[in-house]
Structure 1
Amino acid sequence: MSKGALHRLAMTSTWMLVAVSLAATAGAPDAGTIEQQWRQANSKYDGARQAVLKQVDAQAWSGPFQPDWSSLAEYKTPDWYRDAKFGIFIHWGVYSVVAYKGEWYPRHMYEREGQYANYYQHQIATYGPMPQVGYKDLIPKFKAEHFDPAAWAKLFREAGARYVVPVAEHHDGFAMYDSKLSDWTAVKMGPKRDVIGQIATAVRAEGMKLGLSSHRAEHDWFFEYGRRFDSDVNDPRYAALYGPAHPLQGAKGEDGKEVDWTFVSDAYLDDWLARSAEIVQDYHPDLMYFDWWIGQTRFSGALARFASFYYNQAAARGQGAVLNYKLDSMRMGSGTLNIERGQAADIRPQPWQTETSVSQDSWGYAEGDTYKNPDEIVHLLADVVSKNGNLLLNIGPKGDGSIPDEAKNMLQAVGQWLHANGEAIYGTRPWRQFGEGPTKVAAGTMQDSKTAPYTAQDFRFTSKDGRLYAIELGWPDDRQAVIHAIGADMKVRRVTLLATGAEIPFQQQADGLHLRLPTSPKGLHAYAYRIELL
């Protein structure tokens, strides 16, 4: 055993002793009891789970990929995804009924102290005291009485989306699909509808690709604060919903980096893998998305098994599959990187994606939330596409299934821009440089509100079929624009403003391509030019 392995074992053993001590001090079940209660609650599905896992392993070894990272690094992102450029993300679940500060309400409602104590106070003031009332008691209030999947899909298509990614299960552990491995589903409770199945049918009927998102990995610790006092999280009758709820712990490894030492059992890894595979088997998504915690070391083997299974079963159907991951959760090239609420500094050699929400703060619907404006979204789209990426734009429907007007208006505005300028977006590839201009992008995760507003001197470039596209992110007051990247060595034949179809007079000079612009078209957010070369 290596020194590093010994170190990890020692740290894990130390953590287990600390976890038991903390749990005992708080009056909650110890770590062993927690795990035992959760496994007992899920034991009714042991046979079905093992059957799914058997199918996973059979498929994982039967096809172009094997469940190891060297094999998975041979993956190539399919062209449909590279051409699509724009998708819609949907965070919708029981938490949408509460509509209080977003989708992390289920966790924070059990925090009685600290910066999130207002969630707990809101919960008991609105719904009643604990342990009598908990998250489980919000499920009957989630009726989705105005949920119209066909109307949703039509809106998304009109917004210019080419794929749609609803959350199949968030950290709260409530499945929005017809799971055969859980009683806590939208089919058996709440709406009593296969929400994911109905969205899938509607999305595909509109000609869009279907993606599905699973955040179940984080469920291992999501309800941990309910362990610290007398709450329904500690009631064995609800262990299948609240999960193991192990304490979330952190420590620094030998390299000085933060390492997550939270306990993850083999049983939980099997459950995660089976539940993830079940989604693939039943709905055949073109894209699967995982949140960041699959990067925790204990998930590595199960994640490789899933990726090989997913890619191989898709290949058997002739389906180009996409697997989104965050940070360094997967080996470079084995999937498609997703940067949460962030951008890239330059053209990335492999296709990637950024995700952001129409609202400033939350992913799920929250009353009183503030929303971005269409300029921000269109500019983000142009920047991301110019750097070989896609934009996944999130909305949070209300608990009744209606889409907030602010989100609907945003989607319609983006759709109008794409209808006029989509030629410069869809099916394009990066040019020799992504753009030019004075505005510097704040690159990296969680940076989407830190980039200064763009100017009329900021351009983003794309290319397709021998044509160059320049997207101007503002309109100059003097109606004079210069694209410095297009020098005298490039012979321009024609420049067309896509939104109007008007030819734009131009001159090529030593410092670039000079454009003489007409009166500014209204409400376009950004201005795309088709530049044809000799």
Structure 2
Amino acid sequence: MININQINEVIGKGPFQDNWESLSRYSVPSWYKKAKFGIFIHWGVYSVPAYGNEWYPREMYLKDSARRDRQDVSMFDYHIQTYGPQHEFGYKDFIPMFKAEKFDPVAWASLFSRAGARYVMPVAEHHDGFQMYDSQLSPWNAAKMGPQRDIIGALKEAVQEKGMKFALSSHRAENWWFYDGGMTFHSDVQDDSFRGLYGPAQPRDPEWTIHGEGPDEAFLTDWLLRTCELVDLYQPSIVWFDWWIMNVRFKPYLKKFAAYYYNRAAERGTEVAINYKLDAYMHGTAVFDIERGQLNGIRPELWQTDTSVARNSWSHSVNNQYKEPADIICDLIDIVSKNGCLLLNVGPKADGTIPQEDESILLAIGNWLAVNGEGIYDTTHWKIYGEGPTQSGEEMHTEGKRGAYTDEDIRFTFKEGTLYAFVMKLPPSGTVMIRSLSTSSRHFRSVITSVNTLDGSLPLDWTVSDEGLRIDVSSLALTPYPTGFKIGME
């Protein structure tokens, strides 16, 4: 079982020390810069009630909660109506119902590969405190309860067999306060027998991040041990953290974890990354991530958006509000044009099957990437990300505020002397005008030698003037999906 002395020993012997100066020597993996598209998976005990979202274990204890998430009945009331009073049926009682009897990691990996993903990231532990792996630090895990199977280990093997990178997320930090609404239920959350699942259940105070109040040393040490255990058990290529590690008390432990993780990777000769939100990690020491949001411009350093196929939930829910695959593809293009990656989440059912809606979206994305992936994978950003009226939000949870992409929205990527231009929506006029490539453009001074669709199926007529690059697309069928053009230059 891992301990603090072992962690300190690895840090002491490795190239990275637990301070920002040393960690600033970190370099983003080359494979990550090329990958562009990954799959996130929210699956756990919360998938059993499948109501509202993955915050069900918290909301089921909050009588006055305002979170309804497109449901007619609050999660608190729904729980009573469906399972009985919380003091008689607590969240722990869902665990025996979480059997994962149809979980097929090989089928999952095959689907993700067909979707065009280059990396796969299941949730190792969510806020609820239930680990999806065979941990030596807590019995509240999928190998010892519920499925009685090392879910993470089985999925890792299948994912790597398909040639994709394997990553993990930890949401453990939020367990400090996640069940605070259940502190009035003495036979459940307050029972010390279940403390290993429910955690400290301390009051949630949004000011903790600013004033430094929050987790005690015991909780923070346990957090560090759990994350380092994940590194040693599964050697993930990415470790993703949710937002609450922003709490200032985590800072020494964040540095210690990064040094340990990066040193372990150096021992194996592998390239790894940490995903963080807000300013949890110092600039240049890890990879910045925006939840359900994008950027308005190019970021010189690699970044990532994490979002879900459903608007209202990360986990499977009976009333999930699904996005259109064409919209997700547009977001993928926009993110890549700004030097980012898209981490797209799906939510399997409790039995281990992936809902048909999730699967259909993934396959639609995969079909599009099979034709257009040349302009996505292994590319870099160009001088500008694109043109057109549609702007993205710059903060978390702003994706719903962005308007629909138009036929004037065009995004660029670049690779090996070739410019790729993606028209988010073909215009009904039959003519695409790319104004950034005009003879009078301040961005472009090259000579265009060829213009083709990425599938290369039809010859295109095109001209360049001081107005822009005009492409005759009247021979192309109108489609809800973006259309990619390959532009040769001298």
Length-normalised TM-score, structure 1: 0.88
Match of 1:134 in 2: 90
**1:247-262 pair list within 5 angstroms:** 247-251=203-207, 259=210, 261-262=212-213
**1:383-394 pair list within 5 angstroms:** 383-394=334-345
Does 2:453 correspond to 1:497? yes
SS of corresponding position for 1:88: strand
Match of 1:421 in 2: 372
**1:39-438 pair list within 5 angstroms:** 48=1, 51-116=2-67, 118-251=74-207, 259=210, 261-438=212-389
**In structure 2, what residue type is equivalent to 1:181?**
L
Q: Report the Cα distance in structure 2 between the residues aligned to 1:477 and 1:152, rounded to whole angstroms.
A: 39
Residue deviations 1:230-278 (CA, integer Å, cap 9, x gap): 45100111111111111112338xxxxx726543111111100000000
**In structure 1, what residue type is equivalent to 2:138?**
S
Match of 1:12 in 2: none
Residue deviations 1:131-184 (CA, integer Å, cap 9, x gap): 222011100000111111100000000000000000000000000000011110
State the Cα distance separating 1:479 from its structure 2 match. 1.1
Does 2:409 correspond to 1:453? no
- Tell me if structure 1 keeps the 8 A contact 2:213–2:249: no
**In structure 1, what residue type is equivalent to 2:323?**
K
**In structure 2, what residue type is equivalent to 1:173?**
G
Residue deviations 1:403-439 (CA, integer Å, cap 9, x gap): 1111100000000000000000000000000000122
Residue deviations 1:309-331 (CA, integer Å, cap 9, x gap): 10111111111101000011111
**1:503-518 pair list within 5 angstroms:** 503-518=459-474
State the Cα distance separating 1:441 from its structure 2 match. 2.1
**In structure 1, what residue type is equivalent to 2:438?**
G
SS of corresponding position for 1:70: helix
SS of corresponding position for 1:98: coil
**In structure 2, what residue type is equivalent to 1:431?**
W
Q: Report the Cα distance in structure 1 between the residues aligned to 2:112 and 2:481, rounded to whole angstroms.
A: 19
- Tell me if structure 1 keeps the 8 A contact 2:293–2:395: yes
- Tell me if structure 2 keeps the 8 A contact 1:499–1:527: no
Q: Report the Cα distance in structure 1 between the residues aligned to 2:168 and 2:8, rounded to whole angstroms.
A: 21
- Tell me if structure 1 keeps the 8 A contact 2:61–2:86: no
Residue deviations 1:471-516 (CA, integer Å, cap 9, x gap): 0001111211111111323211111100344332211101211111
Residue of 434, 450, 462 corresponding to 2:413: 462
Q: Report the Cα distance in structure 2 between the residues aligned to 1:442 and 1:521, rounded to whole angstroms.
A: 31
Runs of 5+ in structure 2 lacking a partner?
68-72, 440-444
Match of 2:485 in 1: 529
Q: Report the Cα distance in structure 1 between the residues aligned to 2:8 and 2:76, rounded to whole angstroms.
A: 43
- Tell me if structure 2 keeps the 8 A contact 1:324–1:335: yes
- Tell me if structure 1 keeps the 8 A contact 2:273–2:286: yes
- Tell me if structure 2 keeps the 8 A contact 1:160–1:415: yes
Length-normalised TM-score, structure 2: 0.95
Q: Report the Cα distance in structure 1 between the residues aligned to 2:308 and 2:333, rounded to whole angstroms.
A: 16
Higher helix share: 1
* Pairs aligned (count): 480
Runs of 5+ in structure 1 lacking a partner?
1-47, 253-257
Over aligned residues, Cα RMSD in angstroms?
1.4
- Tell me if structure 2 keeps the 8 A contact 1:340–1:445: yes
Q: Report the Cα distance in structure 1 between the residues aligned to 2:480 and 2:428, rounded to whole angstroms.
A: 15
Moved over 6 A (4+): none
Deviating more after overlay: 514-523 vs 450-459? 514-523
Q: Report the Cα distance in structure 1 between the residues aligned to 2:81 and 2:55, rounded to whole angstroms.
A: 18
In structure 2, do the counterparts of structure 1 residues 260 and 499 end up closer, same or farther at CA, with 3 Å as the change threshold? farther
- Tell me if structure 2 keeps the 8 A contact 1:386–1:460: yes
Q: Report the Cα distance in structure 2 between the residues aligned to 1:249 and 1:361, rounded to whole angstroms.
A: 24
Residue deviations 1:69-107 (CA, integer Å, cap 9, x gap): 121122111110000000000000000010011110001
SS of corresponding position for 1:353: strand
Question: What percent of counterpart residues are identical?
Answer: 46
Q: Report the Cα distance in structure 1 between the residues aligned to 2:103 and 2:475, rounded to whole angstroms.
A: 43
Deviating more after overlay: 282-291 vs 227-236? 227-236
